[in-house]
Structure 1
Amino acid sequence: MTDANDTDYANDSEPDETVADRLRRHVSENRGGMLYDLAFAVVWVTTVSLLYDFLFSNSPRWVLYMFMLAGIPAYFGFFISLEMARKQG
């Protein structure tokens, strides 16, 4: 019987590597992408919060949740279009 618990990421790490070491390596490898993701999230949540507080102040609470939920397709749409623009130019 094969080991069902063997995964690819388990084979990538050193045997003596701690969780903190793996986390540090992951962050150093993906620093740029994580920074872009954080920046997008901060800008999106700030924009939606300001819109809901000032422009849609009389709207029900679910409107805020729908705006926040719209951030998911907006995120993927933005970064997919950015990647397409990089390939063209």
Structure 2
Amino acid sequence: MTALVVISYIVNAAVFVYAFTRPSSAWLAADRNRSFWLVLLAILGLMGVLGIAADVAFLVGVLPRMLVPADPPSPEDPKVRANPFTKN
């Protein structure tokens, strides 16, 4: 049982570091809340084997959405503003 807990800590630490190092643009593209997932991974990761459930939820639910290439927004999209730092 002790080896399983140690392995779960190692796996959770690796997933937490991976999630922490993702840029904000990846979180926005995935439409997921970065703070929520980092806190969830940290808290459940301290609980040993329960952290594996959080890791699996992140790897199955969030990570695939981060890896899908986002389509560039169309210029007609009302949420897209002109870049003030480029010449048009």
TM-score band (shorter)? 0.3 to 0.5
TM (norm. structure 2) is: 0.34
> Whose helix proportion is higher, 1 or 2?
1
Instruction: State the structure with bigger RCO (CA 8 A, min sep 6), 1 or 2.
Output: 2
Larger Rg, first or second structure (1 or 2): 1
